Chains A and B, each alone.
Chain A
Amino acid sequence: MSAGASMPPSPAAAQPPGEPRPALRLLPSPRESRDHPVRSSAPTVHGDLDIPALYRRYGDLVLGRCRTILRNDADAADAMQDVFLKLHRFRDSFRGDASPSTFLYRITTTTCLNRLRSRRRRPEDPVEELPPLPSSESVLDALAVRQLLDELVDGADEKTVECLVYHFVDGMTHDEAGEMVGLSGAAVRKRIATFRASLRDNPPPWMEDA
C-alpha cells in the first residue's frame, strides 16, 4: 500500500463486502480541501510555458481585459491572440512565484495600452468613433474608462498610465497596483496625485478617491 494508507478512509472503503477490490484505488488526499485550494501555477511542458493550457484557463481573463481597455471586440480578439503568442518572448520574465493570472494580466495590460497608443496615432482610426461596450468588468463605468484612456492620459508617461489603469479602472489598491508595475504603494499614490494635480480642468469626481 502506498502512503495513502495513513490517509482518511477513501470512498472505496465503503465498498460493500463481497465486491471485488478495485484494481486501482484512489485515496482522496487531505491536503486538498475548500480551505486549501489547489495552488495554480503556470502550466508548463518540458520546462516551457504550455500556451494552449494557459489559453484554455486564462483566455477569458485576457479577452475581458482587452475589451475593457480597447473597447472594441475585433481589436480585443486580435490583442488576445497577440498576448498568447508573445508569451514565449516573456517566459524568462515569468517568476515562478507569481501567479499565472497576474503574469498574464500584466502582459495584457501592457499590450493593450501599447495598442491604444498606436491607435491614437492613426487618425484614420480614431478612438472617439468606437462605440463603448455596454457593460464592463471595471469598477468605473464605461464613459469614465473612456474619459481616462482617451482624454486624460495624454502626456502621461507609460508607468503612470499603468498606475492609473490598475487603480481606477481595475479597482486595485495602491499597493496592489505597485506590485503590478514594480513600484511601492507610496510611489503609486504619489504618481496618481501628481497626475491629478496636472489636470488643467477639475479632475473628474471618480478621481477624488486617489
Chain B
Amino acid sequence: MTHLSTLKLHQLRLGELPGDEAARCQAHLDACALCQARHGHQAEVRREFEAMPVPLAIVRPRWQRVALGAMPLLAAALVLFALLPGATPPASAPVDEAAPGELPARVDAAVDGDPVATPEAVAAPEPAAPTSASKKPTTRTKGASIPRLEAWVEAGESERPVYPGESLGAGARVQLRYDALGKNFVTLAGRDSNGVVEVYATIAAGARGLQSAPFAFTLDDSKGEQAFFALLSDTRLDPEAVKTALSSNPVRMDGAIVTSLVLRKD
C-alpha cells in the first residue's frame, strides 16, 4: 500500500472514512513511520488552530458586521438627540439579568450564527444548576474557548447541531461530539431532570479535535431537561465516583475537566 494521502489522514482522524477503509488506513498508519509523523504534524496544527482566535469575519455573517459597523453612528445620533432642547430621555432598555443559578448570557450563539447547543465548557466546579442554553442562548466572547462538547441531531439524510433553545421530540437521534483536550480518557454521562445520573461509557480518547462518541442516543417520549457531561481525565474514572460527583451541586471531580451541555425535550 502506498502512503496515505494527506486528505485520507484528516478523514481518518475526523471519523469520516467508511469502516473497512478506516480499518485499512489505520493498519497502514500503525505500521508506517512517515504517515505517523505526518499524522503527528496534523495534530500539532490542530493544537495551534485551537489556540487561534476565531476571526470575527467567520463568526459573524456579513450583514451583522455591517450593522455593527454602523453602531457608532447610531450612538452618536442618540447622543445628539438627547442633547436637543426638549428631548425626553429614551426609556431604559431591559437588562438581561441572569436568574439565580444560571450563568449570565455571554456570547450570543444565535446572533453569531453559532448553532452549537448550549455547550458550557467548564473546569470543575461547575455552575450550581445545569446551565440551560435552551433557556438562554449562550454566547462566546472573542478569544473564549471553542466548545468541547456538542450535540448533533439527525436531520433527514444528514446531521446538524442542535440549535440554542431548540426542544427535541421523541425519536430524535442525538450524537455527542467532544474534544478530549489531549486527555487520555473521556467519560460520557448524563443527568436527567430528576437528578438521576447515568454513566454511559468511558472511552480511550483518540486524536485531538472533535470526535464523535461511538454511539448515539434515541430520545424516548419522556419529557424534561437532560444534561450531558464529558469528563476529561488522564486516568480512567471510577463510574461510582462520577455518579457521586455529578449528583452533587456544584459538580466537583478531582483530576477531571468537566464539560456539559443541556438539552430540552418537550
Surface stretch bound by A, among B127-135, B216-224, B250-258: B216-224
Q: Does A95 contact B (CB under 8 A)?
A: no
The segment out of A113-121, A123-131, A136-144, A192-200 that lies at the interface is A136-144
B contacts with A, residue count (CB < 8 A): 78
Contacting residue for B55 out of A20, A33, A45, A81, CB 8 A:
A81
Say whether A110 faces chain B, with CB atoms less than 8 Å apart.
no
B 140-156 binary contact with A (CB < 8 Å = 1; else 0): 00000011000010000
Any A CB within 8 A of the CB of B212 = yes
Q: Which residues of A contact B77 (CB under 8 A)?
A: none
Residue from A24, A60, A172 within 8 A of B5 (CB atoms): A172
Q: Which residues of B contact A (CB under 8 A)?
A: 2-7, 9-11, 14-19, 22, 34, 37-38, 41-42, 44-46, 48-50, 52, 54-55, 57-59, 61, 112-116, 146-147, 152, 157-161, 170-171, 173-175, 190, 192-194, 196, 198-200, 209-210, 212-226, 265
Interface residue from B2, B15, B160, B198 paired with A44 (Cβ < 8 Å) = B160
Known: A2-B220, A7-B218, A29-B217. Contact between A105 and B7, CB under 8 A? Answer: yes
Query: A57 near B: Cβ within 8 Å?
Result: yes
Binary CB contact string for chain A from 158 to 169 against chain B (1 if under 8 A, 0 otherwise): 000000001001
B41 touches A23 (CB 8 A): no
- A176–B3 Cα distance when bound, in Å, is 13
Choose from A1, A34, A40 the contact partner of B14 (Cβ within 8 Å): A40
Nearest 10 Cβ contacts at the A-B interface:
A41-B158, A23-B224, A26-B217, A60-B49, A32-B216, A22-B192, A60-B46, A64-B45, A37-B15, A172-B5
**Cα–Cα, bound, A136→B6 (Å):** 10
A-B contact pairs, 10 of them (CB 8 A): A22-B194, A23-B192, A23-B196, A32-B216, A40-B15, A60-B48, A63-B48, A135-B41, A135-B44, A171-B2
Please classify the interface of chain B as helix (H, G, I), strand (E, B), loop, or mixed, using the class held by over half of its residues: mixed
A173-B218 CB under 8 A given contacts A24-B192, A24-B225, A136-B41: no
Shortest beta-carbon distance from B213 to chain A in Å: 8
User: Are the CB atoms of B265 and A137 closer together than 8 Å?
Assistant: no
Q: Is B171 in contact with A3, judged by CB distance below 8 angstroms?
A: yes
Asked whether, in the complex, the Cβ of B219 is within 8 Å of the Cβ of A2, the reply is yes
For B160, the chain A residues whose CB sits under 8 A away are 43-45, 50
CA distance A37 to B58 in the complex (A): 28
Q: Mark A22-56, 1 if CB is under 8 A from B, else 0.
A: 11111111011111111111111100001111011
Complex Cα distance, B200 from A24, in Å, reads 14
Known A2-B171, A22-B194, A34-B214: A45·B113 in contact at CB below 8 Å: yes
Q: Which chain B positions have C-beta within 8 A of A138?
A: 6, 38
* Complex contacts, B265 vs chain A, CB 8 Å: 24
Given contacts A26-B226, A37-B212, A38-B15, A60 and B38 within 8 Å (CB-CB): no
**Once bound together, how far apart are the Cα atoms of A28 and B220, in whole Å?**
11
When distances are taken between beta carbons in the complex, the residues of chain A under 8 Å from B170 are 2
| B6→A28 contact, CB < 8 A | no
